[in-house]
Structure 1
Amino acid sequence: MTRIKNILSVIPLFLIAVLQAQEVEFGEISKEELLEEKYELDPDAEAAVLYRSQNTYLQSSGGGARLITEVHERIKLYSKNGFGHATETIHLYKGKSARETVGKIKAFTYNLVNDKVVKSELDKDQIFENEYSYSYDQVKFTMPNVKEGSVIEFMYRINSPFIWNIDEFRFQRDIPIKRLEAELRTPEGFNFKQTHKGFIFFTPSTEKKMDNRLGMDVVVTRFDLKDIPALKAESYVDNIDNYRSGALFELVSVDIPGTVYKSYSQSWGDVAKTIGSSSDYKNELDKTRSFKNELDPLLQGKTNQLEILKLLFKYVKEQITWNGVDGKSFQNGIKTTLKEKKGNVADINLLLVAMLRYAGIKANPVILSTKDNAIPLFPTLDRLNYVIAHATINGKDYYMDATEEFSDVNLLPIRDYNWGGLLVDNPNKVWKHIGRIAPKKADNMHLLKVVVGADGTIEGSYQSRLTHHSAYQFRERYKEKEEDEFLNDLERKLSNIEISGYEVKNAAGYEGNVTESFTYEMENGADIINDKIYFYPLAFLRKEENPFKLEKREYPIDYGFPFQDRYMVEITLPEGYVVESLPKNIVMNLPDNLGKYKYVIRHMGNKIQLSTIFDINSEIISAVNYLDLKEYYNQVIIKGLEQVVLAKAANGRDTGSTGNK
């Protein structure tokens, strides 16, 4: 996190802000608020923020300065589904020598009992603090005596030593907000760039005010928003917080009369160079003497660089365990990590970079922000939380993240495919931004054999071959459960079929494809009506639910990786029956070659053959194409509902071939 400590010597920093008088006073809850049964602009909302105030300002403290953020929030809970909003979570950043704190927590739950407002106070022992991650502590509390119709209200004060690192002003939640006020006060001459994010238009007001106690002007930026709609997460979104409306602030310069103008504007190259000049990247990566005993026997006789790269990648994955902590800097360092066999992301992936360099391979770190962290909207060190390894062999790029059991060379955890990254190549003095790393397309094959019985039973066999990230995700799902539990879940997912002879190959490793096979039975797999048999030719492989349900979506669809699912189905008809009707063949295309669905079915003798292809050609699809994608799924679901109809054959009736065009 970028800290600008030397600015403190430019001017004396005393109390800069005094809270503006609030129209909404803490504790003044009306019966009308408690009686309110729904939010008129969003009647289905489970809860709504009635009021939120956020004020951020600088304050003198013991001859230095602190960044203060005061929060006041009032929430109405309309239903039990909204009770989750009765828990407030505060994340507090911590550096190596300083940390943020929270205090002055004051919180009440209000209920209407016998036409009287009754309030329940949050006890201090109901406030819990824990270590959330290497960089953050977490303070959490849940409001007492919550009921349907309750109003909850709380206030708290965050005290931060990181005075120029202003947290995002977030103006949108997954529930609507009736009224929001926010204010930021900064000394004149300290110039901040404001970046708008999200899809709600807002214009702050700014004014310059004299602070008589300082004898100088301050710049006041105010936001006043009303009736902010909820932004709800739907399927296939990377991090919904990336798209919530808000404002970001970046210190770009200090321009005070009588002092030297100082610019803090940075390019991504500047940020990469700053990282490269840190001790971890400048000195620690070259401490490779400890590798001699461990690596020399492993590398003896090896000359092929790609073979060596894969060997060292496997070695780090097997020898070092990730402790679950992100980070772009060492937590333990190379020697301690090798000794303890455990470390954070940087310990593991910077160790891999150092080992690759030791083996004579051109390798460097790439620093990035993971999907669950944020998309950096401007050059900043603060919003980067992760590092992976990069190598170049014969002009080809290889990206590696050795933290996960099932990752592979150029097959990163999905969290890593976000925005791009910063290449820090100190040996060649190259510090630059690199574009988004594209995941490979997963080409998956599913083979289904179906035998339809005259009594409506269906049995058959299934085989699949999964590649790249589809195989990666299967391995994760398969490992986290016992096989019996895994099979029970699989049977429920696949229309409650009965599975036997289940077999998986190559699920324990991380290289290559995963194959899956089993036989199955469906007691009522087909319907018999008036001597005719009706069944779905895709059986349990058909899509039954559209993942896209919003009328409008304002953020992109993120599949994580592009993929193609190909289904080949062979159906054997019962003796004495002929095909009366088949679904029609279709081909559907998404705009801009984003995807394709193909459905081809034909009848040959006592067999029906069906081939379908479900194609998504881009891991990210713009919200502009949301309605097209939603309708694409609708049509695929409708197609899956179309049935084959069989009729009893007349004596001597031809059971020959038919097809659809």
Structure 2
Amino acid sequence: MKRITLLSLIAHFLLLTPVFAKKETFKYPAFTIPAELKKNANAVVRLDEAEFTVHSRKSSSLTQKMVITILNKKGEAYASIPFGYSKFETLESLKITIYNSLGLVIKKVKESEIKDYSYSSAGELIGDSRFKIYEPVQKQYPYTIEYESVSDYKGLFVYPSWKAYPGYLVGVEKSIMKVIIPSEEKLRYKCINFKDSISTTTINDQNIYQWGIDSLPALKSEAYSTGVLSQSPQIILAPLDFEMDNYPGSLESWNSLGKWSAILNQGRDQIPEEEQAHIIELTKDCQTDIEKVKILYEYMQSKTRYVGIQLGIGGWQSFPAEMVSEKGYGDCKALSNYMKSLLKVVHISSNYTLVKAGESNNLQHTDFVHSYFNHVILRVPLQKDTIWLECTSQKMPFGYLGTFTDDRDVLCVNDDGGELCHTPIYTIEQNQQIQNGTFTLLKNGDAHAEISTIFTGIQYENIETLYHRSSVDDQKKFLYEEHINLPDFTINDYHFQEDKKQIPSSVLSVTLDVRNYASQTGDRLFIPLNKINRITYIPPKLENRLTDIRYIRSTEDKDSICFILPEGYKIESLPEGKIIESDFGYYQSNAELVGNKVYYTRIFRKNKNTFNASRYEEFRSFRKELAKADKASLVLKKITKS
């Protein structure tokens, strides 16, 4: 008897579509997705099709069709796509259709079911930008959601770019893009990890560019990586000349982009006369310019707070310094401009600086002039030093940028235009965690601990949460749940203090009672020498590491712990000293018995560096060796009376 499979039944059913339904009713059946695209995937992009048309320097439009099959609950994050609109962007149409696993339409989303939000509803923000979003509620997987949209733009100098992947754990069946631009205008583009050809034709005085890719398997994120997505195919698009809200500009060079930014902010640096007099009074006894900068920075912090402002061209143009002075708030642009204006009163020049902020400082493509920026800081070049100021935080130490904007290329705006500069790189000598502790061990394995830790430079941010949590309950919650790596303990007391200098530092002191710090087996106590700063993470084994291994920053940890041994026990086993030396890092530990005390010392340092992906297994072995060394235990044996 011939075997009938589920797949053959489905295929037979689809062939009979004239009987049961119109042929076009069946679209995107999930079972046709190739198995290799579903591997490691929570969702699969069936089609990502975009057509961007430049009508003039003041007008453009984008037509999109995005079809995504959601394979499981974890893929739901890709089912909802926000569509923004504002003074400069009109969402002309939005059509959303949902299909079941066979490709049958199960829902045509009504306009009333699409939510409309102001970006300001997400936080402290003032703006006229809004977005529409649909949040599907489907209980059966897989299902497919299709978005079709048309947006019109009034002036645009950040063109929509093309990225093959929307994120991790998503396969891509087909992704294509077409750009139509008047032949008198120039389309600038940069291909990244894309080697296929770009089709170019000219029809009716319009240049048409088209490219695409298909059958991309899902990507997993990789530890210690520049980001797998940064290795995926993408094309950055940008105009040569543009116009925003009657402000013409050019992306011919970083200098020309800086000129456009400077023009946007012309005449917005006026400080009220009464405040000018106050500023002069504040700084009259300063002996150096750096003293003046510090006093005015702290004055600015005490007087203002951050509020995002995205009104009109406010996404690029700062609000006047007078408004900040009056209202006491502003966004990164307004507050940096205000600080610049304060310094101008005391004849100190500074640079309004555009930066791509975020914890990861991945290399930007500085050979291609384009607006990568999402934040503004201030650069103050003095005779003997350059001070960098983050103006949106009321608590940031003077002259410290931290992981949000350190070690990256930025665009510093000056009177002549703009120039690329690089923000500070914090060194291993600056990025220290120095921990000293005493553990008094009891016969039952419990311990009383007193630990003091100094954090400097980037590692100052390890306990940043404490600086911003005012309540004791919130601070203790952080210490219990996020900071102290012990399984069962009670905090008896804690205190911390900050030193907000240019390379900031803080000291955290805690006293603890730790239950079962040592494990008891018969007449022996097994005492872990490093339980509070232990390396445990070992990157997973991979068939094919795609990206290079990367240490973003240099850091050094130093630990010194004194264990006071309980009476009635003697040392049975004391671990030997350990040195692990590699270009991946340096590790040293040692334990020494002095009377009834064991002194344990440990150093682990790693330098900012990038290693070839081919060395991944070597790196895993290094991490394994570290984890093993950090598990070293001291063994005590009960002294028996003879």
Taking structure 1 as the reference length, the TM-score comes to 0.80
Between the aligned partners of 1:29 and 1:116, the Cα distance in structure 2 is 5
Provide the residue aligned with 2:450 in structure 1: 461
Letter in 2 for 1:129: D
Letter in 1 for 2:254: W
Letter in 1 for 2:491: S
Matched, 1:648 2:634: no
Matched, 1:500 2:491: yes
**TM superposition shift of 1:283:** 3.1
Q: Which moved more, 1:327-336 or 1:148-157?
A: 327-336
The structure-2 alpha-carbon separation of the partners of 1:189 and 1:81, relative to structure 1 and needing over 3 Å to count, comes to same
- 1:154 paired residue among 125, 138, 147: 147
Provide the residue aligned with 1:311 in structure 2: 295
Provide the residue aligned with 1:85 in structure 2: 78
Between the aligned partners of 1:306 and 1:26, the Cα distance in structure 2 is 71
Letter in 1 for 2:463: F
Matched, 1:285 2:269: yes
3-state secondary structure, aligned to 1:142: coil
**TM superposition shift of 1:321:** 0.8
Between the aligned partners of 1:556 and 1:436, the Cα distance in structure 2 is 23
**Is the contact made by 2:432 and 2:455 (CA closer than 8 Å) also made in structure 1?**
yes
Q: How many residues align?
A: 595
- 2:325 paired residue among 338, 343, 361: 338
Provide the residue aligned with 2:43 in structure 1: 47
**Is the contact made by 1:451 and 1:459 (CA closer than 8 Å) also made in structure 2?**
yes
Provide the residue aligned with 1:470 in structure 2: 459
The structure-2 alpha-carbon separation of the partners of 1:208 and 1:230, relative to structure 1 and needing over 3 Å to count, comes to same
Between the aligned partners of 1:650 and 1:569, the Cα distance in structure 2 is 28
**TM superposition shift of 1:630:** 4.5
- 1:601 paired residue among 556, 580, 591: 591
The structure-2 alpha-carbon separation of the partners of 1:39 and 1:583, relative to structure 1 and needing over 3 Å to count, comes to farther
Letter in 2 for 1:311: I
3-state secondary structure, aligned to 1:518: strand
**Is the contact made by 1:328 and 1:367 (CA closer than 8 Å) also made in structure 2?**
no
Letter in 2 for 1:578: K
Between the aligned partners of 1:264 and 1:361, the Cα distance in structure 2 is 29
The structure-2 alpha-carbon separation of the partners of 1:147 and 1:490, relative to structure 1 and needing over 3 Å to count, comes to farther
Deviation per residue, 1:293-316 (Å, 9 max, x gap)? 321321233333222211111000
Between the aligned partners of 1:102 and 1:163, the Cα distance in structure 2 is 15
**TM superposition shift of 1:177:** 0.9
**Is the contact made by 1:34 and 1:151 (CA closer than 8 Å) also made in structure 2?**
no
**TM superposition shift of 1:473:** 4.7
Between the aligned partners of 1:445 and 1:26, the Cα distance in structure 2 is 68
**TM superposition shift of 1:232:** 4.3
Between the aligned partners of 1:635 and 1:487, the Cα distance in structure 2 is 33
- 1:571 paired residue among 563, 571, 586: 563
Between the aligned partners of 1:309 and 1:222, the Cα distance in structure 2 is 52
Q: Which moved more, 1:245-254 or 1:453-462?
A: 245-254
Between the aligned partners of 1:432 and 1:608, the Cα distance in structure 2 is 56
- Structure 2 unpaired stretches of 5+: 1-22, 120-124, 243-248
3-state secondary structure, aligned to 2:100: strand
**TM superposition shift of 1:120:** 1.7
Between the aligned partners of 1:58 and 1:271, the Cα distance in structure 2 is 20
Letter in 2 for 1:170: K
**Is the contact made by 1:191 and 1:251 (CA closer than 8 Å) also made in structure 2?**
yes
Between the aligned partners of 2:198 and 2:316, the Cα distance in structure 1 is 39
Provide the residue aligned with 1:536 in structure 2: 528
Between the aligned partners of 1:266 and 1:58, the Cα distance in structure 2 is 18
Within-5 A mapping of 1:332-371: 332-371=319-358
Between the aligned partners of 1:253 and 1:131, the Cα distance in structure 2 is 31
3-state secondary structure, aligned to 1:71: strand
3-state secondary structure, aligned to 1:565: strand
CA RMSD across the alignment: 3.5
Between the aligned partners of 1:361 and 1:499, the Cα distance in structure 2 is 52
Matched, 1:139 2:126: no
Provide the residue aligned with 1:184 in structure 2: 179
Matched, 1:74 2:55: no
**Is the contact made by 1:176 and 1:228 (CA closer than 8 Å) also made in structure 2?**
yes
Between the aligned partners of 2:308 and 2:462, the Cα distance in structure 1 is 18
Within-5 A mapping of 1:226-245: 226-233=214-221, 244-245=232-233
**Is the contact made by 1:406 and 1:472 (CA closer than 8 Å) also made in structure 2?**
no
- Structure 1 unpaired stretches of 5+: 1-24, 211-215, 255-262, 653-661
**Is the contact made by 1:376 and 1:384 (CA closer than 8 Å) also made in structure 2?**
no
Within-5 A mapping of 1:551-570: 552-554=545-547, 557=550, 559=552, 561-570=553-562
Deviation per residue, 1:274-297 (Å, 9 max, x gap)? 333x152x4333656453232132
Provide the residue aligned with 1:218 in structure 2: 206
Letter in 2 for 1:576: G
3-state secondary structure, aligned to 2:299: helix
3-state secondary structure, aligned to 1:346: helix
Letter in 1 for 2:258: A
**TM superposition shift of 1:623:** 6.2
Between the aligned partners of 2:465 and 2:305, the Cα distance in structure 1 is 16
Q: Percent of counterpart pairs with the same letter? A: 14
Matched, 1:299 2:283: yes
**Is the contact made by 1:369 and 1:418 (CA closer than 8 Å) also made in structure 2?**
no
- 1:119 paired residue among 96, 106, 119: 106
Between the aligned partners of 2:329 and 2:51, the Cα distance in structure 1 is 41
**Is the contact made by 1:251 and 1:265 (CA closer than 8 Å) also made in structure 2?**
yes
3-state secondary structure, aligned to 1:285: coil
Between the aligned partners of 1:135 and 1:190, the Cα distance in structure 2 is 30
3-state secondary structure, aligned to 2:373: coil
Provide the residue aligned with 1:250 in structure 2: 238
**Is the contact made by 1:371 and 1:418 (CA closer than 8 Å) also made in structure 2?**
no
